[in-house]
Structure 1
Amino acid sequence: MLFIRYCNCHRMDEIYDFLRSRDVSEEVIQQLEKDKIDSSVIPLMTDEQLKVYLPSYGDRLALLGYCRRRENDPAGRKSKLLDRLRAKISRNKSKDHREVSENETVKNAQKNVRKVELGWLNFRDGKYSQVRTKKGGGTRKVAVSKDCRKNELVEKAVGLFFPAQRNTQGRITDFEVDITDFQEHSLDEHITVGELYEQTKLPLLRFYLTTKRKDSASDSETESASANAQQDVIYVGNSSVLTNSSSDDIHLVYSTVDMGDLSSVHEIDAAMNVDILEDSGTVTFFTGLISNTESASLDDTLLLSPQSSSPVVSSSHLDSFQEPIVQREKVKKILVLHRCQILKELISHFCDVSVTQEDISIQVVLPDGKQEKAIDDGGVLRDVLSEFWQDFYEQCTLGNNFKVPFLRHDFGQQQWESIGRIIAFGWQKQKYLPIKLAPVILEQAALGCIKSPLVDSFLRYVTESDRIVFESCRSDFESVDSEELLEIMDLHNCRRVPTADNFELLLEELAHQKLIQEPAFVIEQWSTVLSPLRSELECITAAYENLQPTFRKVMRSLVYPTIMTEQQKNITKYLSSYLRESDKQHLSLFLRFCTGSDLFLGRNISISFTQLQGVQRRPVAHTCGCYLELPVNYENYPDFRHEINKVLESSVWVMDIV
């Protein structure tokens, strides 16, 4: 939800003048006055509510930018201070300053309504954390009676943060609710707001609505909530041991599985918190409904290991869980992957034929064992696909600009079919294709025939020096050094002497050998997966062209605020200059930083500006929403270019914003 912040700092006539400057009709302004919308109401309105008055999304964003600028405008703050000084001077002329202060104190004491701030703390990861505005939280100012007590504050907070008793975090009935004071101490039920103001002498009191999911309160409540779950969730990872520091928790020990044996791991019920995945590897949790028969056999399923005295899952009992799970409706599956192990682990997951039929999302674990603080709303999946194919190009292919898979002794039919499923999955979910693979390979696998020029793909497969020699032979065979040509042809296992008459034929034969014959086994495995997508992949060459990052494509995808200051306009010029002089590699890095994908997927990138300075100054990207924040405190373009290059070339991007 989008909240218009800072509006309560300005009078409504200023806001009306601004709306008129944007040619907003007088009917809208009259409707605002008719509905008695003032500067204290606007901050509490959602984007949908504000849309009733301002249908244009640009007008709503412009209003947000206007309020932010006015709040940060030193001239505006000075004018407010001058107004206050003038008011004090006028009061001092009429009566003594001490008498005025006493009268003001009496006047404030006679007020029956006081303003308070309300925030929201949600219990997560073993502690209470404040919920951000974009997640439905933030800080709200409301007017309450001085006689207001705890129950009334709870009602007001729930109404603000859980409109219609529900928000993005869930229903209010799913939580244990309390209200705390500014020190996060539970509020006394009998004390009033007026009494708290008298005790604390604070100019503005702040209270926090605290929420804690009922299913995390205790183990027994966890089991009860699991039995009533509406959706099945499966967590799948890749190591053999699940560790937990608590002695009271159940330890599940699996036998080590290789890349091809993931399908042998079945789902079991475990009353555990998801956060234990931070220190774990291969783990599969089944949190769906378990029948009475299955629950009765759970004690028999957990056997003690003689080495560790930890419960070990018996394979015979795992088989008994398989049938009810297969019969279930579609489940939510979360694939747990580790940084630097994406290639191996993703292939392991996709060895399961049914994986593409599941509702899949990704959870990434950092090398230190902690989870990345990111929710997979598309950005995590795009980032994982980008890392997977970068590792695949380096470890499983040969070639220069175009890559060709080579046969590995540790990759069999199951692994190559798994990679084919990843190609299909990336295309269906995000329209992502591995465009560094020679297009003739995907055409042969998906369409059963070659449509792209074979020799052109081969010339992009060979090294740059070999390509120059081959092209010279095609244009003027006699001008090429014969010894160098023979050496190159020998490296490509050519068994005939090249001449001006047979060179084109030899080139076609070498291209067919390298791009079609040698990876024939891989193409055969991929065809079983990609052939059903024949109609979607009919024009692979056009798809390659659309996915290739270019300066014009990236520039067209940038969305700037409607109204910008001169300083912000300078930063947009810096960004444009940077993208114009960037090569394909840096354009891909920029796209991956902003969108999670190193390819151009047609997503718009929204640009906003921050005031970060000093060591904190840096670009910040949100890949799920394709959102880029740029600091405005750059003195010149070289500083901007140097800093953004450092960020893009560091290759240490951690998703730490939820």
Structure 2
Amino acid sequence: MGLEESKTSFNNTYHGDCFEKNSIHYFGSNDNLLSISPNHDVCDLTLDSHEFLMTAGHSQEQFQPAIDLSQALDDISVKTILLHRSNLQEEMLQYFKASDILNTTLKFKFVNECGHDADGVSRDAYATFWESFFLRNADGEVYRIPVLSQDYGQEEWEAVGRILIKGYKEHKYYPISLAPAFFIAVVHGETSVTPQLLKDSFLLYISQSEKDVIEAVERGTQYDQNELLFLLDRFQCHKIPEQSEMASIIVQIAHKVLIQESKYALDAISGVGEGVWQIDFPDTESILTLYGRLDPAIPKVIELLCASPRTKEENASIGFLHRFIRGRNKLQLRKLLRFLTGSDVICVDKIDIQFIVRHGKGRLPSIHTCGPMLELPSTYANYPDFRSEWESMLDSKECMEMNIV
């Protein structure tokens, strides 16, 4: 998979999946071909059979295929979904309201981007959805819980459930910001959520300062009385508990916040996954193992890197990358992992590294998320050079766009 031509809105950073030079080809069952010209903003279609491009929010005047799609839908096994990054959450929800989408293999494409989906674009689509969802429709700090709103009814919450299933089943992508207690209730029912699981999830749902107050009360050490009062008032607890009562009070609050207040969403998400999740997660321990396996940690991310440096310069370059990874905090590490793989959790077995020679302003890496594979320049003079270029690249709004054509 070589680089023949590139477009980018951020210097010369290449970020993408598999590609062809003059058109992007998606292959469905029996190698039936759908060709999409990169010269059009929306897309012109040539549909042979068994595959079509789904669009949300576009009229028939904007997007008119050459054949009657209604006659072709019956035999379709692969569907390609066209998404706008600026409206991805709403578009994904519209697609996943269809109950039969769980039985369909999906491919994704972003409007005005040239990435060909060989897993990397799909991982990016699911990661982008959950990033938007947790920001707009969930509450909490490290762990988050869906928040009910007038905009989300039964159909929308069921669509969220299907997105959760599809991302994991096809790409092993699971959003680990979703509180474990909530997901255990989704899979095995709320009676399977033990008091300890409720407490553990709740302590990462609240802020670090609130967690510190609770733990100080339980230990019987000094704490800020005003902080405790604020915490209790926030969750409508009108009793100041004694030290011996604190643990049980916290479990009661946790059950109310994590389970009861989101029960409508929980039931809808659980309903579409009934009999599906239990295959992969027969017990609560298997769910907790999932969180541990996917959670990015510095040693695990470094272990993913597969490189065979042959020169002093290549050894220095991979050493700079290791050092850069070790300097990331949790959020920065997840952003870096997403840049390299399309996913902010660990759902790939390795990241292949090939060394290239680039100089000056063009000394930026090429990212092929389908592998995933990183083309890493071996021409950095020192670590400050490496760090400044990578920090600038990751801070760019365009760093996640698929711009290989």
Aligned with 1:495 (options 223, 238, 251) = 238
Which of 164, 176, 197 is the matching residue for 1:453?
Answer: 197
Higher alpha-carbon deviation: 612-621 or 543-552: 612-621
Q: For residues 600-643 of structure 1, what are the alpha-carbon distances to aligned partners after superposition, in whole Å with 9 as ceiling and x for unaligned?
A: 11321111122211111112211111111111221110110111
Q: 1:517 aligns with which of 249, 260, 266?
A: 260
Give matches, 1:225-244, under 5 Å: 229=48, 231-242=49-60
State how far apart, in whole Å, the 2-side matches of 1:135 and 1:463 are.
Answer: 44
Change over 3 Å in CA distance of 1:487–1:590 after alignment to 2: closer
Q: Is 1:355 matched up with 2:101?
A: yes
Q: Which AA in structure 2 matches 1:405?
A: P
What secondary structure sits across from 2:280 in the alignment?
coil
Letter in 1 for 2:167: G
Quote the offset at 1:480 in angstroms.
3.0
In the alignment, does 2:208 pair up with 1:464?
yes
How far has the Cα of 1:649 moved from its partner? 2.1
The match for 1:425 is: 166
Counting matched residue pairs gives 368
Q: Does the alignment pair 1:386 with 2:118? A: no
Instruction: Report the aligned-residue RMSD.
Output: 2.9
User: Closer, same or farther in 2 for the Cα pair 1:375/1:136, shift >3 Å?
Assistant: closer
Deviation readout 1:216-246 (Å, 9 max, x if unpaired): xxxxxx99x96xx4x32121111243556xx
Partner of 2:177: 436
Secondary structure of 1:535 counterpart: helix
Q: 1:481 to 1:604 in 2, by over 3 A?
A: closer
1:106 counterpart residue number: none
In structure 2, the partner of 1:552 is 299
Contact 1:399 1:462 in 2 (8 A): yes
Q: Deviations over 1:342-393 (max 9, x none)?
A: 111001100010111112111111xxxx3x1111110000011111111011
* Runs of 4 or more consecutive aligned structure 1 residues displaced over 6 Å after TM superposition: 134-137, 167-170
Task: Quote the Cα distance in structure 1 between the aligned partners of 2:278 and 2:91.
Answer: 28
Residue 583 of structure 1: aligned partner: 329
State the shift of 1:136 in Å: 9.6
Residue aligned with 1:609, SS: strand
Superimposed CA distance per residue, residues 109-152 of structure 1 (whole angstroms, 9 cap, x where no aligned partner): xxxxxxxxxxx9xxxxxxxxxxxxx9899xxxxxxxxxxxxxxx
The residue type equivalent to 1:396 in the other structure is: N
Residue aligning to 2:117? 376
With normalisation by structure 2, the TM-score equals 0.84
Identify if the C-alpha distance between structure 1 residues 515 and 607 changes in structure 2 by more than 3 Å, giving closer, same or farther.
same
Contact 2:353–2:373, Cα closer than 8 Å, also in 1:
yes
Aligned-partner residue type, residue 438 of structure 1:
A
Q: Deviations over 1:181-220 (max 9, x none)?
A: xxxxxxxxxxxxxxxxxxxxxxxxxxxxxxxx9xxxxxxx
Runs of 5+ in structure 1 lacking a partner?
3-119, 121-133, 138-166, 175-212, 214-221, 245-250, 253-269, 273-284, 287-320
Please identify the structure whose Cα radius of gyration is greater: 1
Cα distance in 2 for partners of 1:168, 1:402 equals: 37
**8 A contact 2:305–2:353 mirrored in 1:** yes
1:400 aligns with 2:147: no
User: Do structure 1's residue 569 and structure 2's residue 310 form an aligned pair?
Assistant: no
CA distance in 2, matches of 1:341, 1:135: 24
Query: Take 1:579 and 1:442, find their aligned partners in 2: how far apart are those partners?
Result: 30
1: CA distance, partners of 2:26 / 2:84: 28
Q: CA deviation at 1:589?
A: 1.6
Paired-residue identity, %: 30
Give the aligned partner of residue 607 of structure 1: 353
CA drift of 1:495 comes to 2.4
Rounded Cα–Cα distance in structure 2 between residues aligned with 1:466 and 1:551: 27
TM-fit CA distance, 1:483: 4.0
Contact 1:234 1:331 in 2 (8 A): no
Change (3 A) 1:431 1:236: same
Q: For 1:531 and 1:357, how far apart are their aligned partners in 2?
A: 15
AA partner of residue 220 (structure 2): D
In the other structure, the counterpart of 2:8 is none
Q: Could you tell me which amino acid in structure 1 is paired with residue 259 of structure 2? A: I
Distance 1:483 1:606 in 2: 52
How far apart are the structure 2 equivalents of 1:522 and 1:169? 36
- Cα contact 1:446–1:527 (8 A) shared by 2: yes
Name the CA distance, whole Å, in 2 between partners of 1:474 and 1:421.
Answer: 40
CA distance in 2, matches of 1:169, 1:425: 20
Q: Residues 136 and 434 from structure 1, CA distance in 2 versus in 1: closer, same or farther, beyond 3 angstroms?
A: closer
| Rounded Cα–Cα distance in structure 1 between residues aligned with 2:232 and 2:244 | 16
In structure 2, the CA distance between the partners of 1:482 and 1:622, relative to structure 1 (3 Å rule), is same
Structure-2 separation of matches of 1:430 and 1:169 = 18
State yes or no: 1:535 paired with 2:276. Answer: no
Distance 1:405 1:591, change over 3 A: same
Structure 1 residues 84-483: aligned runs within 5 Å: 229=48, 231-242=49-60, 270-271=65-66, 286=69, 321=70, 328-365=74-111, 370=112, 372-448=113-189, 449-450=192-193, 453-476=197-220, 479-483=222-226
Change (3 A) 1:490 1:567: same
* CA distances 1:583-609 after superposition (whole Å, capped 9, x unpaired): 122221221111111111132111112
Cα distance in structure 2, aligned partners of 1:552 and 1:390:
24
- Return the alpha-carbon distance in structure 1 between the equivalents of residues 26 and 180 of structure 2: 42
Distance in structure 1 (CA, Å) of the matches to 2:105 and 2:280: 21
Deviation at 1:331, TM superposition (A): 3.0
Q: TM-score, normalised by structure 1?
A: 0.53
Q: Assess, with a 3 A threshold, how the Cα gap between structure 1 residues 517 and 559 changes in structure 2: closer, same or farther.
A: same
Which whole-Å CA distance do the structure 2 matches of 1:643 and 1:516 have between them?
44
Partner Cα separation in structure 1 for residue 143 and residue 269 of structure 2: 18
The one-letter amino acid of 1:635's match is A
